[in-house]
């Protein structure tokens, strides 16, 4: 992704652990790009337990759901700048929307300091080639 010149890296995940924030920060810092990490906040109360006929009380999933924690996924959405600084978030344990105004000049300024595919690159020993031609889906 860095070689393709990414300025805004979208990082959706279902990983709500604190360690995931370190990954988002690392991507921002290494790639000198903005990172928008998004994750859902889900509680048992939000879990779909009804169908058109009413409650599904006899289903096995409901019995399993009783043993699950109240919070199924605590979220963790966050926005990092090209220096690895957290601009917003992480947003845990509640629903919400994170917004910031991105200063896109920060991307090019950051690459003066460190550019993993620019002046640190070794095109004499490494070449990245990505086949971007659309392929038909695999059918069975």
- Please tell me the distance from the alpha carbon of residue 47 to that of residue 42, in angstroms, as a whole number: 8
Cβ–Cβ < 8 Å for 33, 115: no
Helices (H), 13-127: 19-31, 60-67, 105-113
For residue 28, the model assigns a pLDDT of 97
Predicted confidence band of residue 35 (pLDDT cuts 50, 70, 90): very high
Mean pLDDT of the chain, nearest integer: 87
Kindly tell me if the per-residue pLDDT of 113 is higher than 90: no
Strand, helix or coil for residue 20: helix
139: phi then psi, degrees, rounded to nearest 5: -120, 150
Map out the domains of the chain with their CATH numbers: 2-113 (3.60.110.10)
For residue 33, the model assigns a pLDDT of 96
How would you class 50 by CB atoms within 10 Å of its CB: exposed for 0-12, middle for 13-18, buried for 19 or more? exposed
- Please tell me the distance from the alpha carbon of residue 87 to that of residue 100, in angstroms, as a whole number: 7
- Please tell me the distance from the alpha carbon of residue 8 to that of residue 1, in angstroms, as a whole number: 10
Kindly tell me if the per-residue pLDDT of 119 is higher than 80: no
pTM of this structure:
0.78
């Amino acid at each position: 992704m860095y070689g393709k010149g990414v300025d805004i890296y979208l990082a959706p995940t279902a990983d709500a652990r604190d360690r995931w924030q370190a990954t988002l920060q690392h991507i921002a810092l290494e790639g000198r790009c903005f990172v928008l990490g998004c994750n859902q906040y889900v509680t048992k109360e939000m879990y779909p337990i009804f169908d058109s006929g009413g409650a599904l009380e006899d289903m096995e999933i409901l019995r399993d759901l009783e043993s699950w924690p109240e919070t199924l996924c605590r979220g963790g959405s966050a926005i990092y700048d090209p220096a690895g600084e957290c601009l917003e978030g992480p947003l845990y344990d509640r629903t919400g929307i994170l917004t910031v105004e991105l200063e896109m000049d920060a991307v090019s300024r950051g690459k003066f300091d460190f550019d993993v595919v620019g002046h640190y690159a070794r095109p004499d020993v490494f070449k990245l080639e990505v086949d971007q031609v659309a392929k038909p889906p695999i059918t069975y």
